[in-house]
Structure 1
Amino acid sequence: MRILMVALAATVLAGCAGSVMDDSRTKAPYKVLTSDKPEKVVAQCVQFGWQDEAVFGVDAGAYLQPGKKGGSTVYTRSAESFVDVTSDASGTVLNYYAQKDDFVAKRRLAALATCL
């Protein structure tokens, strides 16, 4: 029964995060970055960086999932920050979205930049 409740809660949270991300994608990203590294390597690096409790404390959760249009998406709880990581002819493109332009968004951007 507990497993069922956890699975149901995870499904509900993923649905909420998905709609927030879809709404954000209709606007310009907070920042667009590029990298010469492979998409999977960059996405895993971002996820690892965003999980650093010494930097983000209790908000150190970061999740990796397949991207909406290919590639990967790394996101935080409630999709407060997320990055779409995709490959194109010039390398890897990172579209970073943040719900608020605050200290945490800038700190996540800085952690993301270390993966380029």
Structure 2
Amino acid sequence: MEIGASIEWFNYVIRLVICIDATYLKARTIGVLLVAVCKDGNEMICSLAFGFTNFECTESWTWFLKKLCKLIQYLDRVMLVSDWHSGIFNAMEAIFLDAALGICTYHLARNLKKILQAEG
């Protein structure tokens, strides 16, 4: 589900950097919330789209990113930032062919720390 006003705003005003991630729902509703957000010129976070699914996998991310892709006007100027979960990465590569792909430095550092601790 997209948030219409935010999409319009994104296409004309917002920085063309989209952060995507998921969080697990553990209360009454069990599942995964997929989100796409960006920041405006005042560093305020703006929601672009969200979706609910049962699992975080390539198929669910493909569904979500296809919907998001249809709403964005300048696909060749967009940068997507994520934690590079395999499902996110596979879907991003398949759908956003001309977009720049980035990794969240927080998640990169955390993953490197896990690898170094396992080796040492």
On whether the aligned pair clears a TM of 0.5, the verdict is no
TM-score normalised per structure 2: 0.28
Larger RCO: 1 or 2 (CA < 8 Å, sep 6+) = 1
Larger radius of gyration: 2
Task: Give 1 or 2: higher helix fraction.
Answer: 1
